[in-house]
Amino acid sequence: MVQNENFFLENKPLFSGKIREIFNYSEDKLIIKTSDKISAFDFVFDDEIPSKGKLLTKIAKFWFDKTKHIIKNHILDDSMLTSVNPEISESCLVVKKCKPIRIEAIVRGYISGSAYNQYVKDGMVSNIKMEDGLKLNDKLETPIFTPSTKAEVGEKDENITFDEMMNIIGEEKASYIKNKSVELYKFAHEYALRKGLCLIDTKFEFGCDNNGDVILIDEIFTPDCSRYCLAKDISNQDVEFFDKQFFRNYLKEIKWNETQITIPEKIKNIIISRYEKVYLMLIDE
User: Model pTM?
Assistant: 0.92
What is the residue type of 72?
K
Q: What is the mean pLDDT of residues 59-77?
A: 97
d(CA 127, CA 80): 47
Which of 123, 115, 127, 124 shows the shortest CA–CA distance to 165?
127
Mean pLDDT, the chain, rounded, equals 91
pLDDT of 24 > 70? The answer is yes
> Domain 99-252, what fold?
D-amino Acid Aminotransferase; Chain A, domain 1 (3.30.470)
pLDDT of residue 152: 64
Instruction: Kindly state which CATH superfamily the domain 6-96 is placed in.
Output: Phosphorylase Kinase; domain 1 (3.30.200.20)
d(CA 123, CA 128): 9
Please state the separation of Cα 39 from the chain's center in Å.
12
Which of 233, 226, 223 shows the shortest CA–CA distance to 279?
223
- Residue 283 pairs in a beta bridge with none
**Per-position DSSP letters for 16-68, written without gaps between them:** E-SSEEEEE-SSSEEEEEE-S-EEETTEEESS--TTHHHHHHHHHHHHHHHTT
Per-residue model confidence as pLDDT tens digits over 129-175: 999 999 999 999 999 999 999 866 556 678 999 999 999 999 999 99
Per-domain residue ranges of the chain: 6-96, 99-252
Per-residue model confidence as pLDDT tens digits over 218-239: 999 999 999 999 999 998 878 8
d(CA 137, CA 158): 23
Q: What is the mean pLDDT of residues 101-124?
A: 95
Per-residue model confidence as pLDDT tens digits over 36-51: 999 998 899 999 999 9
Q: pLDDT band for position 122 (50/70/90)?
A: very high
How many Cβ atoms are within 10 Å of 267's Cβ, its own excluded? 17
pLDDT of residue 5: 54
Per-residue model confidence as pLDDT tens digits over 178-213: 999 999 999 999 999 999 999 999 999 999 999 999
Q: How far is CA 23 from CA 10, 30, 52, 175, in A?
A: 11, 6, 20, 31
- Asked if 75 contacts 63 with a C-beta cutoff of 8 angstroms, the reply is no
Which of 122, 113, 116 shows the shortest CA–CA distance to 135?
116
